[in-house]
C-alpha cells in the first residue's frame, strides 16, 4: 500500500476482497486503507466467511480490488478469477519464482502481464500454519499487480527496507473475528490511544481461621508482634 500501489488516500472510497484471509492478518491491515474490506477463506479460521474462492459464485465486478497471498499451487486460478471480479486492480503476494515456468507464461503473462512486479529486498519470513516475528527464510517474495485502468507495460519495482518503519506492536496478535466476514473502517481515522493499565490494588493478607483452642502465646504489650522479635 505504501511502496507499491502508492497514494494510500485514494483507497478510502474503494472496496477490497481478501479471499485467502487465514486468521486475518492481511485483512486487518488492508482495513486501515480501504473504506470496505471483505475477507473469506476455504477453511474456518474463525475470522472471515468460509468460501472457496475458486468455485464460489462471486459476482463479476463485485469489488474494486482483490488483494491476497494465494496458495502457491492455486496461484493461476486465483489470478484468473480475481481479474474477472475486480473493477480496479489485483495484487498477489507470491514467491518470486512464480514468474518462471513456460506454462504460466503461456497462460498468464503473455496474455495479461502484470503492470508491476515489485520485489522485496528484505526477506519476508513465512511459516506454514503460524505467524512468527522471529522466523527466517531463504525464499524471495514479490507483489504482482494488475491495474485494469492503466495501459502501461510491465515494470520492475524494488520494495525498499521498510519492516522496521511499518511494523507496529500488535501486528502479530490475532485479529478479532469479522462478523459476517466484513469490516468497514474509515480511512485516516485517528486511533484512540490505549489507556494505561490501572495499578492493581495490593492483595489483602490472608486471614487464618481462628483456632478453637486457647492460644499458647499471650502478648500483653500493644506493640506490633514483629517488634517483640527484634525486627
* Span 140-158, pLDDT tens digits: 999 999 999 888 899 999 9
Which region holds residue 61: left if phi is over 0, alpha if psi is between -120 and 50, else beta? left
Q: Does residue 136 fall inside a structural domain?
A: yes
Residue 189 has a pLDDT of 39
Predicted confidence band at 44 (pLDDT cuts at 50, 70, 90)? Answer: very high
Considering the chain, what percentage of its residues have pLDDT values greater than 70?
Answer: 77
Residue 210 has a pLDDT of 53
Residue/partner pairs of 161-167 with CB below 8 Å, 24 or more apart: 161/121, 161/122, 162/2, 162/3, 162/122, 163/122, 166/2
Residue 230 has a pLDDT of 42
- Which tens digits make up the pLDDT trace of 93-133? 999 999 999 999 999 999 999 999 999 999 988 887 777 88
Which residue carries 484471509 as its cell? 21
Which residue carries 522466523 as its cell? 135
Q: Does residue 197 fall inside a structural domain?
A: no
Residue 43 has a pLDDT of 94
Closest CA to 27 of 57, 68, 62, 64: 68
pTM above 0.85, yes or no: no
Q: Does residue 44 fall inside a structural domain?
A: yes
Residue 130 has a pLDDT of 76
Q: Does residue 74 fall inside a structural domain?
A: yes
Q: Does residue 135 fall inside a structural domain?
A: yes
Residue 203 has a pLDDT of 53
Q: Does residue 118 fall inside a structural domain?
A: yes
Residue 174 has a pLDDT of 82
Q: Does residue 129 fall inside a structural domain?
A: yes
Given a cut of 70, is residue 76 above it in pLDDT?
yes
Given a cut of 80, is residue 32 above it in pLDDT?
yes
**What is the arithmetic mean of pLDDT over 161-173?**
89
Predicted confidence band at 37 (pLDDT cuts at 50, 70, 90)? Answer: very high
**88 contact partners, CB below 8 Å, separation of at least 6:** 14, 64, 65, 147, 148, 149
The total domain count for the chain is 1
Residue 74 has a pLDDT of 96
Q: Does residue 106 fall inside a structural domain?
A: yes
Residue 79 has a pLDDT of 98
**Residue-range definition of the domain harbouring residue 84:** 8-167+179-183
Residue 133 has a pLDDT of 80
Predicted confidence band at 226 (pLDDT cuts at 50, 70, 90)? Answer: very low
Residue 53, all three cell numbers: 474462492
CATH number of the domain that residue 24 is part of: 3.40.50.150
Closest CA to 81 of 103, 116, 45, 51: 51
Residue 186 has a pLDDT of 37
Amino acid at each position: 500500500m505504501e511502496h507499491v500501489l502508492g497514494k494510500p488516500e485514494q483507497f478510502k472510497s474503494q472496496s477490497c476482497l481478501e479471499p485467502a484471509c487465514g486468521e486475518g492478518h492481511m485483512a486487518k491491515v488492508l482495513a486501515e486503507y480501504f473504506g470496505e474490506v471483505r475477507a473469506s477463506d476455504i477453511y474456518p479460521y474463525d475470522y472471515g466467511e468460509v468460501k472457496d474462492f475458486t468455485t464460489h459464485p462471486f459476482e463479476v465486478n463485485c469489488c474494486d480490488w482483490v488483494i491476497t497471498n494465494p496458495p502457491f499451487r492455486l496461484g493461476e486460478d486465483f489470478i484468473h478469477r480475481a481479474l474477472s471480479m475486480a473493477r480496479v486492480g489485483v495484487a498477489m503476494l507470491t514467491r518470486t519464482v512464480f514468474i518462471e515456468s513456460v506454462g504460466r507464461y503461456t497462460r498468464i503473462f503473455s496474455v495479461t502481464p502484470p503492470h508491476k512486479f515489485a520485489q522485496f529486498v528484505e526477506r519476508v519470513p513465512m511459516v506454514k500454519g503460524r505467524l512468527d516475528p522471529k522466523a527466517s527464510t531463504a525464499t524471495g517474495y514479490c507483489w504482482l499487480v494488475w491495474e485494469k485502468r492503466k495501459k502501461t507495460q510491465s515494470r520492475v519495482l524494488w520494495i525498499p527496507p521498510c519492516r522496521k518503519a511499518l511494523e507496529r506492536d500488535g501486528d502479530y496478535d490475532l485479529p478479532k473475528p469479522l462478523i459476517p466476514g466484513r469490516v468497514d473502517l474509515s480511512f485516516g481515522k485517528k486511533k484512540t490511544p490505549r489507556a494505561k493499565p490501572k495499578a492493581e490494588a495490593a492483595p489483602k493478607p490472608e486471614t487464618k481461621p481462628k483456632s478453637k483452642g486457647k492460644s499458647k502465646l499471650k502478648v500483653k504489650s500493644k506493640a506490633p508482634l514483629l517488634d517483640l522479635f527484634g525486627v
